[in-house]
Amino acid sequence: MENTVNKEKSISPAPVKQNKMGTQPIGKLLFGMALPLVISMLVQALYNVVDSYFVAKLSEDALKAVSLAYPIQMLMISVSVGTSIGMNSYISRKLGAGEHEAANKGAANGMMLLLLSSIVFAALGFFVRPFFKLFTDNGELVELGTTYLRVCMWFCTGVFLQLGCERILQSMGKNNLSMITQLIGAVVNIILDPIMIFGKLGCPAFGIAGAAYATVIGQWVGLIVALFLVLGKNHEVTLSYKGFKPCGETIGEIYKVGVPSILLQAIGSVMNIGMNSIFSRVLANESGVAIMGVYYKVQSLIFMPLFGVTNASMSILAYNFGARNRLRLTRAWRLTFTVAIVIMLAGTLIFQLFPAQIISLFDETGTIRSGGVAAFRIISLSFVLAAASITNSITFSALGRGTASMIMSLIRQLCVLLPAALALALIFKTVESVWWSFLIAEFAAFAYSFIMLRRIWKNEIAPLPDGARV
């Protein structure tokens, strides 16, 4: 009898390791996953600010060139981040449902889509000169912008695949590993910026091209580290192309969330292009372009912690939605919403109290200081509304309702913002009046997201079972 018992013990299956997104207390889980993302995103935002800081020391035209190039860089990030979000949402939902092979297939197909997208942008890098001519007749400004943007586009594969690897890690709740890749890439960029722009430590002075070289080198170093972390460890998700064939169904599921996310992100590029056109062509004031560029680089230091928390929550929300655990899902949403509001209240306070000190870092000649102070104070009044809208948007994506996120972003950055900005410019004929369009647009976006969230909550979240009380 004893031998039988021992035999039964010896063949009993090993306990299945549970994913922490389904078991760990929500507060500990969210902050544990968000902290690495917040740190890495802050460093990412910092190197964008550092880029503009050093470029501004070259000339005001150089700062304007980087500002004009920013919408195209945002478009590349839109495609890479949007596709990665679709992959992240798909993998997290499949892990929550216990479908590990489907999760592996999602990773392989998602990385393939990112590679193909980067090749398209690299090819488009040969044709950027006409883009700058849309906004200015200044030949030197066109040359500076073309030089900078071509380098960023020709070597963009690094950032596309790096973001993909990071999202694979995040989908498993391993944000600490994702943080490592972003930190290393960003630190390399920050170190190389002054060396390659001004020619230090024996390096030639590349000028504005040096800022681009530093950026792409940092991205490729980050990719190498990310690939090592994804491929060199035993994870729940395995990235492998042995016997790989593209799967139309998986690609469709990725793009079901990914395409709306891409459009959501890309709308920001269209908005920037539209605002730059209003400043340069309608108001004939290129200083507005420089202020807009500085604002978007600096505001990322406020918004990146918000994005870190909401991106961490997306994996938690998607996992527990897939696991049909309403209690954990709702607790995660409420905590995310509260933290988002606190972050943006702090951001509002900073922009209200210290705008002159911030602008002076990028203003060698003093030409944009007064206009920048007004912009920072007016736009920051919309930050709290933005926190609510962004939290709702990431919730829509986590539940596979990317179209709702896209529509909200259309309202926020295109359908309301640009018409309001144009109307204010034509009526008041000042740069300062244009900034009030941000507050108008945030009110409209918040109203839509609130209505949609109530509907989705009633139809898709409320019917779920309570689930585990942790």
Q: Do the domain assignments include residue 467?
A: no
* Residue (of 64, 447, 84, 22) closest to 288 by Cα position: 64
User: What is the mean predicted confidence (pLDDT) over 421-431?
Assistant: 94
Q: Do the domain assignments include residue 369?
A: yes
Residue 311 has pLDDT above 50, yes or no: yes
- Give, rounded to a whole angstrom, the gap between the first and last alpha carbons of the chain: 40
- Residue 72 CA, chain-centre distance (Å), reads 14
Q: Do the domain assignments include residue 316?
A: yes
Residue 6 has pLDDT above 60, yes or no: no
Find which of 181-185, 231-235, 401-405 is predicted with most confidence, using mean pLDDT: 181-185
User: What is the mean predicted confidence (pLDDT) over 31-58?
Assistant: 82
Which pLDDT belongs to residue 8? 43
* Residue (of 388, 426, 415) closest to 306 by Cα position: 388
Q: Do the domain assignments include residue 4?
A: no
d(CA 223, CA 273): 29
pLDDT digits (tens, 9 = 90+) for 228-252: 888 877 677 777 778 788 888 889 9
Q: Do the domain assignments include residue 226?
A: yes
d(CA 362, CA 66): 12
Q: Sign of dihedral through CA atoms 396, 397, 401, 402? A: positive
Tell me which residue range forms the domain holding 191.
25-461
- Record the tokens describing residue 71, joined without a space: 């919408």
Which pLDDT belongs to residue 2? 46
User: What is the mean predicted confidence (pLDDT) over 92-112?
Assistant: 84
* Ramachandran bin of 243, using left for φ above 0, alpha for ψ from -120 to 50, beta for the remaining angles: left
Which pLDDT belongs to residue 467? 62
Q: Do the domain assignments include residue 19?
A: no
Percent over 90 (pLDDT), the chain: 41
pLDDT digits (tens, 9 = 90+) for 346-356: 999 999 999 99
Residue 84 has pLDDT above 70, yes or no: yes
Which pLDDT belongs to residue 41? 76
Phi, psi dihedrals of residue 212, rounded to the nearest 5°: -70, -45
Confidence of residue 19 (pLDDT cuts 50, 70, 90): low
Contacting residues for 366 by C-beta, under 8 A, at least 6 apart: none
Q: Do the domain assignments include residue 139?
A: yes
Which position has the token pair 């309570």? Answer: 466
Confidence of residue 205 (pLDDT cuts 50, 70, 90): very high
Q: Do the domain assignments include residue 201?
A: yes
pLDDT digits (tens, 9 = 90+) for 113-129: 999 999 999 999 999 99
Domain count, the chain: 1
